[in-house]
Amino acid sequence: MRGKAIEVENLESGYGEVKILWGLNLDVVEGQLTTILGSNGSGKTTFLRTLMGIIKPWDGKIIFKGEDVTNLSTYSKAEKGIIMVPEGRMIFPEMNVYENLEMGAYTKRAREKFEDSLDFVISLFPRLKERFNQKAGTLSGGEQQMLAIARGLMSRPEVLILDEPSLGLAPKLVLEVFETIKKLKDEGLTMLLVEQNVHLSLAITDYAYVISEGRIKIQGTGEELSKSDEIRKAYLGL
């Protein structure tokens, strides 16, 4: 039986006086890919910001490997191995590819394994090695997304969180991104994926949650959710 890397219990959050999350409960199981699906405005972004400590929760708990990390800072969570690859990639455009990768290995635990991590990301993204000295801002959209994921991996994550990694990419590049996520899953990396691409997400995920109006409306394995016409029509717009 696999343990739980992250447990979210009755999480409530919002902005000002506007409540966005209404008692979310979900688990991220070690060694598995967990996916959160939902349309724009469903609460996915607020959930990630609350999970990462960017905004403070109103109520509830976030447990990481048995430790209450609810009110820890974003940096402290990163130190423990909760690493997010943000929406929009957010690379450092004026730095070259190698320098961006160095920035990923900023924590003590990551610096100690820098060379091992570098070898791994190069094996995963051989194109990046060819562009080590190239400014990140001059890369194609697909290459920038590869760099963003590689930078996250350089942090030696215990849990890698991917926020809309396929956003804005051409269909061929979207497939490449999902192939990479599948490879990482096969490597046994614990991941939390937040995505709008329902078909590809459900095809590779172990377990999925569908958020609507700040609540978990349905959950199940990727296979269960992809086969349910009722779920697809009601919550996924398919």
The per-residue pLDDT for range 175-207, each reduced to its tens digit, is: 999 999 999 999 999 999 999 888 899 999 999
The per-residue pLDDT for range 75-90, each reduced to its tens digit, is: 999 999 999 998 877 8
Question: Which of these, 97, 203, 111, lies nearest to 146 by C-alpha position?
Answer: 97
Whether the pTM exceeds 0.95: the reply is no
pLDDT grade, residue 108 (50/70/90)?
confident
Say yes or no: 1 and 75 in one domain: yes
* 121 φ/ψ sector (left φ>0, alpha ψ -120 to 50, else beta): alpha
In this predicted structure, what is the pLDDT of residue 125? 93
Cα separation, 235 vs 37, in Å, equals 9
- Least confident stretch, 7-11, 115-119, 135-139, 234-238: 234-238
**Containing domain of residue 205, as a range?**
1-81+160-238
What is the count of structural domains for the chain?
Answer: 2
In this predicted structure, what is the pLDDT of residue 2? 80
pLDDT grade, residue 237 (50/70/90)?
low
Q: Please report, for the domain that includes residue 2, its CATH number.
A: 3.40.50.300
Q: What kind and span of H or E run contains 150?
A: helix 141-154
Q: How many CA atoms lie within 13 A of 8 on its CB side?
A: 24
Burial 13-39 (b: 16+ CB within 10 A, else e): bbeeeeebbeebebbbbbebbbbbbbb
Angle ∠(50,53,55) on CA atoms, nearest 5: 55
Say yes or no: 93 and 17 in one domain: no
Contact 159, 79 (CB under 8 A): no
In this predicted structure, what is the pLDDT of residue 228? 76
pLDDT higher than threshold 70 for residue 214: yes
The per-residue pLDDT for range 26-78, each reduced to its tens digit, is: 999 999 999 999 888 899 999 999 999 999 999 999 999 999 999 999 999 99
Residue 224 to residues 21, 153, 189, 200, 227, Cα–Cα distance (Å) = 25, 30, 23, 14, 5
Cα separation, 137 vs 133, in Å, equals 12
Cα separation, 112 vs 106, in Å, equals 10
Q: Under 8 Å CB-to-CB from 7, ≥6 apart: which residues?
A: 27, 28, 61, 62, 63
Cα separation, 72 vs 15, in Å, equals 19
In this predicted structure, what is the pLDDT of residue 59? 97
From 157, 189, 217, give the residue that closes a domain. 157
Say yes or no: 165 and 51 in one domain: yes
Say yes or no: 64 and 103 in one domain: no
From 157, 188, 215, give the residue that closes a domain. 157
pLDDT higher than threshold 80 for residue 219: yes
Question: Which of these, 152, 202, 150, 146, lies nearest to 174 by C-alpha position?
Answer: 146
Say yes or no: 60 and 10 in one domain: yes
Say yes or no: 73 and 3 in one domain: yes
Say yes or no: 120 and 235 in one domain: no
